[in-house]
Amino acid sequence: MRVSLFVTCLVDLVYPEVGERTVALLERLGCEVDFPPGQTCCGQPAFNSGYPDDARRVAERFLVAFGEIEGPIVAPFGSCVHMVRHHYPRLFAEEPERLALARDLGARTFDLPGFVAGELGRSAVGGRYPDWAPGREPVPVAYHQECHLLRGLNGGAAPLALLAGVEGCTVVEPAHGDLCCGFGGTFSVKLPAVSEAMADEKLDRALAAGARAIVSTDVGCLMHLEGRARRRGLPLRVHHLVDLLEPNGAL
């Protein structure tokens, strides 16, 4: 299957290794991966901040970058997929031609776990926890549900299924594990004290459940949680799910 990678801003600028491992995973599963070089942001920061005209201009770039490409579009970040699927039709509601294209692209845009499980039919792809070796105790990890993937895309099951197939880790369930971590994009900038408190609550509950690592599919959440864990000196590692799906464990 030929697919196109939508790398998203935060992956491209902050966690490029997540994009590289996404390509490696898709290729291992038999996909041929393209990377449209004209892609930029999906427009979500402007849209969520109340600037629909600015968001529309950015979204137009997405339509240009992916509009001539056939086949699935896969992103390692559910929040941006949610933006394309659910908010592009609102942005282009008054432009019939662009609206039709936006709907077509939205129907073909998938988050990585949802694509692997739903479109490729692979509920397990193997993998190994980083630095783990046979004979050692498995590492207890807490899975953090990213809000847009869980609630906006109804995609909470696929990441957990893939995580269950990873060697060297066992999943623990913190209390209220489905709550937001407090990142929320510009929310963390505009309301930093509230955002910080929400992250601390998430980290404290993970520790109370015995976790030594947090795994998610949202690099914004991971950046937020990793920053707070480091500042507090907590014994918690933070990983994108795709890090654990490497056959020999990502470095």
Q: How far apart are CA 211 and CA 205, in angstroms?
A: 9
Q: Average per-residue pLDDT in the chain? A: 94
Q: How far apart are CA 39 and CA 12, in angstroms?
A: 11
Q: What are the structure tokens assigned to 29, written together?
A: 């599963």
Q: What are phi and psi of 172, to 5 degrees?
A: -110, 155
Predicted confidence (pLDDT) per residue in 40-50, tens digit:
999 999 999 99
Residue 251 has pLDDT above 70, yes or no: no
Locate the domains of the chain by residue range: 2-119, 139-244
- Is the CB of residue 217 less than 8 Å from the CB of residue 8? no
Predicted confidence (pLDDT) per residue in 133-168, tens digit:
999 999 999 999 999 898 989 899 999 999 999 999
**SS3 for 10?**
helix
Which class is 139-244 in CATH? alpha beta
Single-letter amino acid, residue 15:
Y
Q: What are the structure tokens assigned to 1, written together?
A: 């299957």
**DSSP labels, 202-220:** HHHHHHHTT-SEEEES-HH
Residues whose CB is less than 8 angstroms from the CB of residue 247 and which lie 6 or more positions away in sequence, other chains included: 28, 126, 127, 128
240 strand-pairing partners: 216
Q: What are phi and psi of 41, to 5 degrees?
A: -85, 155
Q: How far apart are CA 221 and CA 34, in angstroms?
A: 27
Predicted confidence (pLDDT) per residue in 98-143, tens digit:
999 999 999 999 999 999 999 999 999 999 999 899 999 999 999 9
- Is the CB of residue 235 less than 8 Å from the CB of residue 158? no
pTM: 0.93
- Is the CB of residue 196 less than 8 Å from the CB of residue 228? yes
Residue 249 pLDDT grade (very low, low, confident, very high; cuts 50, 70, 90): low
- Report the pLDDT averaged over residues 10-32: 95
**SS3 for 178?**
coil
Residue 250 pLDDT grade (very low, low, confident, very high; cuts 50, 70, 90): low
Residue 18 has pLDDT above 60, yes or no: yes
Residue 70 has pLDDT above 60, yes or no: yes
